[in-house]
Amino acid sequence: MIQKDSSFASKLAGLIILMLIAGGAFAQKKPDKNPLESFLDTQFWLGLKIGMNYTQAYPDERNTGFSPIDYSADSLQKSYDDFALPGAHMGLEMNFYHKGFSASFQPAYKRSRYKYNSALEWRGEQANNRFETRYDVEQRLDLIELPLMIKYDVIKSGKIRPFVMAGGFHSLILSAQKEVEITQTDYSSGNPLQSSGGTTTLGVKDAFKNFWGVSGGAGVNLDYWNIRTVFEVNYKRSLTSATKPNEQQNELASLGEANDEIFLRDINVSLSFVFPFRFIDQQFKAY
């Protein structure tokens, strides 16, 4: 009887040991990861970026070429139109992605445009002794923009991946042009007679300087085949002035034209087409 019990106990112990070994081996075995997700865990992306932008010129300090004696200088202030003229940008997009986070460098050529107007008025003793001159100005800036952004994918898997982003930028002035349309109104005949004073285009690069600022926005990645299309909207705000307020502006200085101290704010809409930097062989089809 004792021998049978001992044999049974030995068999039971052996069975338990085999079950523990099998269970440990099963527990150590991890499920195979989706090869697409493994491919995208760490990846370089490189491609082209194009888009359009609208600019707001925000005057922090206002200036005029004249010093009024018997009236307020406020009447000589410029009136700015916010986000009124479309600009464009084109460049590269270089992303390093790792598990939801991307460091994105996006050097681009950019044209920004904004406009403003100002007016000068002469009045005599009589009501009809009045003459007005209005200046409608379009300012164009050609820049090299160097943004560095950090992106975070809100959804880290799938072919549609929305993201948010934040970072900073540095803008280098390549050229600047000011186009001025002059309109004159004479009231001496009793009825206002309007005439054109012509249009003048001037190079005013010396009145501007390089500037930097911060940026933030959101977008979405769309993956198909082995291409990623990136649609994004961001807002850029300069933290340093883009103008040199004390710089004379050629022929316009005699007209009382002087730059305000301007900070630029942009709304940018962009579309990028980027490709994975790691090559894919014929045996591996990511999409």
Residue 253, pLDDT score: 64
Residue 78, pLDDT score: 85
The count of residues in the chain is: 287
Residue 170, pLDDT score: 97
CATH topology of domain 49-113+144-175+206-276: Porin (2.40.160)
Q: Is 205 helix (H, G, I), strand (E, B) or coil?
A: helix
Helix ranges (DSSP H) in the chain: 2-28, 35-41
Spatial CB neighbours of 117, under 8 Å, sequence gap ≥ 6: 78, 79, 134, 135, 136, 137
Q: In this predicted model, what pLDDT tens digit does every residue of 150-205 receive, in sequence order?
A: 999 998 888 899 999 999 999 999 999 999 898 888 877 778 887 888 888 888 89
pTM: 0.76
141 backbone φψ class: left, alpha, beta (φ>0; ψ -120 to 50): beta
Q: Where are the domains of the chain?
A: 49-113+144-175+206-276
Residue 144, pLDDT score: 97
Q: Which residue has the higher pLDDT, 74 or 137?
A: 137
Q: Which of 114, 65, 68, 62 is nearest to 87 (CA)?
A: 114
Residue 1, pLDDT above cutoff 50: no
Q: In this predicted model, what pLDDT tens digit does every residue of 76-115 receive, in sequence order?
A: 678 899 999 999 999 999 999 888 899 999 999 999 999 9
Residue 26, pLDDT score: 45
Q: In this predicted model, what pLDDT tens digit does every residue of 204-257 receive, in sequence order?
A: 898 899 999 999 999 999 988 878 999 999 999 999 999 986 665 556 666 667
Q: In this predicted model, what pLDDT tens digit does every residue of 13-42 receive, in sequence order?
A: 565 565 555 555 544 444 455 555 555 678
CA distances from 89 to 10, 14, 103 (A): 80, 74, 20
Residue 118, pLDDT score: 83
Half-sphere CA count of 17, side-chain side, radius 13 A: 6
CB 51 within 8 A of CB 269: yes
